[in-house]
Amino acid sequence: MSKTSIPHIFDPAHGPVSGAMVGSPLASAGMQARNFTTMVGLPAPAIAPDFYTPDALVSDVERLCDPGEPVSDTRLLNVAVKYFFAYVHEDAHRDTVPYGELAGLFEQFSRHQSMNEPGDDIEVMNRLRMWSSVLRVLADAPRAAHVMRAVLAHADICPGSGPFVGVDIGAGTGIMLLALQILARRSGFSDIQTLGYQCDPVSGERTHDLVHSLGAGSVMLADPGRPNAFGMVRGRAVNYVANEVMAGIQQSLDADNCFHKYKTFLDTVGDSLDNAVFFPEGLIAHSTATRASVILARENGFQPPAEYLTERFIPQGLILEGKVLPMHRLGSDFYRYLT
């Protein structure tokens, strides 16, 4: 795959993309850098934006799983913000969530690394700090919704004689596993097996509990950089391979968190991937130290040239459906629903 063969999703000649944030570029850049939590205040009373419905997370997920129901951006955004809420509050996936409570949690998270305010629930604030690395990803709800939409775009996966097998080799939040479960159910699979890998025992346990409670598979506390981690996948036809880490904004990629894991997975599972869909299909990344840009894709095993294996790369663009989406545009289609 060459750089010249990949069309670009955003052409500056056609002006700004519909739905992008308006106002001061400085304000927009700062907002993106600190995640969308800075957009959530606590007016009195808290007024829900038009996209929001108080339905329980499980209800929104069930509607998305129904192939007769259209996949809408507003439904995906509802799932994203309620998933964040349910990550913090155990069993909240079954409950209706008043917008005031949701906005309050996002507001707390926007300052969770600072001192508590009078009236803060200390236990909740401690959870926000304990799971901070995962919640930082989920707090960017437009990005989470966009990632789910990209997974669900592969609606042409047809059920065969076997089960649907989906693997996330970099499962942090579990949102990718949920998207895979929805995709499989919308595609008519009755036997669905989705499995994610997470190395952090603190957030990994919570991610597994939430994913499992939603019927979206399991998260294994195992290092996908070791061949024996894939014992449950080896020899089975895999339908979908995801890596949530690849979609992380401000996430650098290196041998430890990316290249070695892909190499181990591909070497171990091998022929079982002949018909698998990959998310992302590829990634364009840049090394500041060497000034080198690379394309990581299935064709090269998501590996940079050998001389760059020890370098750190910053993702610059995702390759989705054969087109390049700049990283800063990930989630931009959903901004208009938040303002």
pLDDT for the residue numbered 33? 52
| Structure token digits, residue 89 | 């509050």
Among the residues of 224-293, which ranges form H helices?
260-269
Residue carrying the six token digits 């339908």:
239
Fold of 159-329: Rossmann fold (3.40.50)
Helices (H) and strands (E) in the chain, counts: 10, 9
Residue 321 falls in which region: left (phi positive, over 0), alpha (psi -120 to 50) or beta:
left
pLDDT for the residue numbered 43? 52
Per-residue pLDDT of the chain (339 residues; tens, 9 = 90+): 444 345 545 444 434 444 444 444 444 444 555 566 655 555 556 688 899 999 999 999 999 999 999 999 999 999 999 999 999 999 999 999 999 999 999 989 988 988 888 988 999 999 999 999 999 999 999 999 999 999 999 888 877 778 999 999 999 899 999 999 999 999 999 899 999 999 888 999 999 999 999 999 999 999 999 999 998 998 899 999 999 988 876 579 999 999 999 999 999 998 889 889 999 999 999 999 999 999 999 999 999 999 999 999 999 999 998 899 999 999 999 999 987
pLDDT for the residue numbered 321? 84
pTM, 2 dp: 0.89
Sheet strands (E) in the chain:
164-168, 192-198, 218-221, 240-242, 277-279, 282-287, 292-297, 314-320, 323-326
The DSSP-derived string for 190-228 is: SSEEEEEEE--HHHHHHHHHHHHHTT--EEEE--TTSGG
pLDDT for the residue numbered 1? 44
pLDDT for the residue numbered 149? 96
Which residue ranges make up each domain of the chain? 25-144, 159-329
pLDDT for the residue numbered 32? 53
